[in-house]
Amino acid sequence: MKIVKKIVLVLLVAFVGIQFIPTERNQSDIVPVTDFMLVNKVPNNIKSKLQVSCYDCHSNNTNYPWYNKIQPVAWFLEDHIKQGKAELNFSAWDSLSNRRKSSKIRSIIKQIESNEMPLSSYTKIHSDAKFSENDRNEIIVWIDSLIK
């Protein structure tokens, strides 16, 4: 019993301790003129779906509910944001050439179609980010029209 108490105490101290390690926050008040939503006429329903389901990892502004600020969740998210933005950053959309935009759109369609994105580890916590079959179809049809 004593040893269990000690282990619990050590874990508790460690958990509290890691909360004080500073992390980088992916936050910005400015929506840059290159943002996907500003350079395209995006219907409102599609706009909110992409913002809720993709923007946390693929833009310059992550929405941080309380559980995203708690370690080690924040570290996992930080890692996903770095990798996600390297692949696709909706905030910097208009700085891509037309050719790169087309190839990104094809890649977005592939990711949504195959249910790879949004990441399942993410939708487990963010149930509002999950797409229904209908959401998927709607987004794919609309985004595909950008390259037609």
Binding site residues, ligand HEC, CB under 6 A: 53-54, 56-58, 80, 83-84, 87-88, 107-108, 111-112, 117-119, 122
* C-alpha dihedral, 34 to 40 to 44 to 50, nearest 10°: -60
Instruction: Decide if 58 contacts 116 (C-beta within 8 A).
Output: no
Q: How far is the CB of 84 from ligand HEC (least distance, A)?
A: 3
Q: How far apart are CA 6 and CA 12, in angstroms?
A: 10
* Of residues 10 and 75, the one with the C-beta less far from ligand HEC: 75
* Of residues 6 and 100, the one with the C-beta less far from ligand HEC: 100
Q: How far apart are CA 130 and CA 63, in angstroms?
A: 16
Task: Kindly report the number of other CB atoms within 10 A of residue 29's CB atom.
Answer: 5
* Of residues 6 and 124, the one with the C-beta less far from ligand HEC: 124
Q: How far is the CB of 110 from ligand HEC (least distance, A)?
A: 7
Q: How far is the CB of 44 from ligand HEC (least distance, A)?
A: 17
